[in-house]
Chain A
Amino acid sequence: MQESLKTIKLISELAAFVFKAGGKEFNVDFKEKNETITITIKSHLASLSTSDLEKLRALNTPRQSQVEEYYWELAGENDQYQELSLVGMMIDEAEFSYENKILKITVYRHK
């Protein structure tokens, strides 16, 4: 139960980032295979500032299980404050790109 809630939180936080970056539509793809969940969010953005792209680097924060257990409920809670570093601490790997006006973020989380 808690595991699925955490996944929902991760999706919410990524969606909040896309909203804040000006996304008017986006697709979320979710997959669970071999104890690993993969979340991909794709959005067409007319532009993406360098600072916004820079913020996504926080997704590369190494996973911190003890921080996750203490703070995970904060993720995806508010559309005004971003918690991308917390997302980074809850996942094992992240990829992101902005090419041809398409922002694509993929995160991997091992259970």
Chain B
Amino acid sequence: MISSLFFNSPVEILAGMKNILVSESILITDYMLIANPGTALFNSGLLMLIAIIISRLNKVNMNGTLIAAIFTVAGFALFGKNIYNTFSIILGVFIYAKLKNEKFNKFILIALFGTALGPMVSQLSFGTDLLDPLIAVIIANMIGILAGIMLPSLAAHFIKFHQGFNIYNIGFTAGMLGTIFMSLFRSIGLETANTLILAEGYDQELTIYLFILFTTMIVVGYLFNDYSFKGYKKILEHSGRLVDDFVLSEGFGISFINMGLLGIYTTLYVIIIQGKLNGPVIGAIFTVVAFGAFGKHIRNITPIFVGVLLASIFQIWEINSIGAILAALFGTTLAPIAGVFGWKSGVTAGFIHMAMVMNIGYLHGGVNLYNNGFAGGMVAAFLVPIIATFKEGHNARVTKNN
């Protein structure tokens, strides 16, 4: 939050916050453009702080999944999540917990990740002229609460669809929920506009900002890890398949180092392919960093990058277009496929993911921010049984020959 002041004045940030709060926030809406970079970073810090406070108040253990959830909220607060559109969804999950007579802290991960559906609330509140503005806000928040109530049952259930090979499980759940809601909206004439709002011209400042941030994370991790990088080799040996909590298994320090290294690695990837740094791209980088505590490392995400790079040669999308950059960064949701089955399977997953993610956004009309998690769920559900069958056959042959 403090770093936002390096980009804009408090007055500019305050004015920018108003723009963000009343934005439709449909995928892809860069808060760095509809407000300014300082406000986007302030919004990101604010939501991160709120997520931490909610977690602390509910006495939730700080583990890899929670760190991933908090950083993911921060990442998407650069392009779609804000304090207005996330509130009703979290409230919905809270109501679910009360209805089930359970403690809310059991569902905190689902509440935080579930804010992926924030744009649905914003779109209904500010993006339709079919309703009176006040009625629209009331209905939007009621639908946000309803989505929050539905999320816990669905999130736990849909995980079986991809067998834990899609790290952004809520992305798939929110994609399904978003698709169903959007179908109902379309049936009464409500439609979302194709949205692509991207900031430009901040590459140099944002590059410096990101390198300072990630280097700091590595230094902090190094201090917590007894002034060493001990344990990093063990992290690289993890497959990343859910549930793979690096903080619990290897410790906080080395997990934080892994997160920082992933940040530098992914930022370099964007720079090397001559991509632009903006809200969505930084949000995607933050999300990879987030899951550096819970499944991702340089070894299991690289094959996904290679798959997307190959796809850009054969498919119609330029490698440094926003869609392809996001497909590569968020496509690392499929890192467990590389981690479990090897690099060739990872490259295949990345290749297919690129085509799938470009094709699937229409279904939910952009109301699900985790579009890549939605696509990743389908890619994993399709690929894993096939790869597993051939691997089994291969293993059986090897055993027979021996």
Contact = CB atoms under 8 A, between A and B. Distances in A.
Whether both chains belong to one complex is answered with yes
Interface of A: 58, 61-62, 64-74, 77-78, 80-81, 83, 85-86, 89
B159 A71 contact: yes
A42 B203 CA distance: 60
Interface residues of B, number: 31
| Closest CB pairs A-B (n = 5) | A69-B106, A86-B243, A65-B106, A70-B109, A73-B156
Chain A CB within 10 Å, residue with most, of B60, B105, B159: B159
A83 to B, nearest CB: 7
Given A61-B249, A62-B248, A81-B241, A73 B160 contact: yes
Contacts of B392: 80
A89 B248 CA distance: 10
Contact of A72 (B110, B156, B388): B156
A67 B243 contact: yes
18 contacts: A61-B248, A62-B61, A62-B248, A64-B61, A64-B248, A65-B105, A66-B60, A66-B61, A66-B107, A66-B108, A71-B243, A72-B156, A73-B156, A73-B159, A74-B242, A85-B245, A85-B249, A89-B245
Contacts of B245: 61, 64, 67, 85, 89
Contacts of A69: 106-107, 109-110, 152, 156
B65 A64 contact: yes
A66 B106 contact: yes
Interface in B298-329: none
A22 to B, nearest CB: 13
Contact of B242 (A58, A61, A64, A71): A71
A77 B248 CA distance: 23
B348 to A, nearest CB: 18
B159 A74 contact: yes
Contact of B156 (A62, A65, A70, A89): A70
Contacts of B155: 70
Q: By CB atoms of chain A within 10 A, which of B61, B160, B340 has the most?
A: B61
A72 B60 CA distance: 18
A13 to B, nearest CB: 12
B244 interface: yes
Nearest to A63: B61
Nearest to A69: B106
Given A61-B249, A65-B105, A66-B106, A74 B61 contact: no
A68 B106 contact: yes
A61 B156 CA distance: 20
B128 interface: no
A49 B156 CA distance: 33
B233 interface: no
B93 to A, nearest CB: 10
A35 to B, nearest CB: 15
B80 interface: no
A73 B163 CA distance: 10
Nearest to B63: A64
B354 interface: no
A64 B108 CA distance: 11
A85 B63 CA distance: 13
Interface in B214-254: 241-245, 248-249
A74 B110 contact: no
A67 B108 CA distance: 9
B157 interface: yes
B164 interface: yes
B322 to A, nearest CB: 30
Contacts of A65: 103, 105-106
Contacts of A86: 243
B282 interface: no
B66 interface: yes
A81 B159 CA distance: 14
Given A85-B244, A89-B245, 15 more contacts: A61-B248, A64-B248, A66-B60, A66-B106, A66-B107, A66-B108, A70-B109, A70-B156, A71-B169, A71-B243, A73-B160, A74-B159, A74-B242, A77-B163, A81-B340
Nearest to A85: B243
A61 B251 CA distance: 12
